Structure 1
């Protein structure tokens, strides 16, 4: 497993060691001991989630104001642009974001710690995304920041309007959102 830093030090790109031959491939998608040793992140995952979305779907920017969730995200079918936004007021990187391409082909994962909003845009025809969380889903705690907040200026790398859920269309601007201290 290799770890790559992003512009926000707590957000990490993880590249598993893949063993492949003419039959296919094998890799460990998660190993708690290796994850802790290589990343320094000491956490437990309590829930696995799986979503499937069509091309141009944008999900996010989601977070839970209480029961904050760290997320380990990967794509097993297709390709997405994955985005993490620091929404911790006391952080030196508050309001900054990072993104990376996660795909079935590159097998990379993105570690997004608690205190970040998360979203992704589907580049391929379809994408299936798996992610582990450090706390349970709590719908009453869920919040959403609007994907195109002008203060964030996220480069979604797409030229067409995304397909959004009703919930995501109603996302708040960062300046009006419930945030972490």
Structure 2
């Protein structure tokens, strides 16, 4: 695995390096010892998989407040997504900045998303599938989100939005009362 820093410290692109021969490919998706090189020192608690049927659907922007803030590692298994991460760490020089990355089954990129970020995506193809590794359990009492269309963030979604859940649509816009996350 190769690691590529982004402008958001704590958001890292993991480039998988497959071993290939006449039989096909073999590659690692997770290795705790290798991930220690980028500061990963948590235990995986939960692994989730999502399938989104339609192109243009948005899921997000989700996060959990401390003490249930989580690190995520994610990989696109099928199709493709426009993946977005927002820095919510109130002491960060990139507070409220966002980064996007296209993840596909073919490019095999993964994202390492540290605690203190909101995450979401838009599907670029029908039947796009994601695998998520989490360091915390889903905790409804600590979960929240940022609106996908918040003008203070200004995410430029690449496709027309064809669907978004009522929950994701109902997140508040950022206002002066939002203090970010202290991690």
Structure 2: any 5+ residue segments left out of the alignment?
none
- TM-score by structure 2 length? 0.92
1:117-140 CA-to-partner distances (Å, cap 9, x unmatched) read 000110011111011111110012
Which residue of the partner structure matches residue 125 of structure 1?
126
Distance 1:5 1:162 in 2: 32
Contact 1:68 1:114 in 2 (8 A): yes
Distance 1:58 1:177, change over 3 A: farther
Residue 142 of structure 1: aligned partner? 143
- After TM superposition, what 4+ stretches of structure 1 lie above 4 angstroms from structure 2? none
What is the CA RMSD across the aligned residues, in angstroms? 1.4
Distance 2:178 2:157 in 1: 21
Q: Counterpart of 1:139 in 2: which secondary structure?
A: coil
CA distance 1:162–1:89, shift in 2 (3 Å): farther
For residues 177 and 120 of structure 1, the distance between their equivalents in structure 2, rounded to whole angstroms, comes to 22
Does 1:163 pair with 2:163?
yes
- Check whether the contact 1:65–1:178 (CA below 8 A) recurs between aligned residues: no
Consecutive unaligned residues of structure 1, counting only runs of 5 or more, are none
Aligned to 1:69: 70
User: Shift of the alpha carbon at 1:142?
Assistant: 1.1
Structure 2 distance, partners of 1:156, 1:22, is 39
Q: Are 2:13 and 1:28 equivalent residues in the alignment?
A: no
Number of residue equivalences:
179
Matched with 1:9 is 9
Q: For residues 64 and 47 of structure 2, what CA distance do their matches in structure 1 show?
A: 16
Tell me how far 1:177 sits from its aligned partner.
4.5
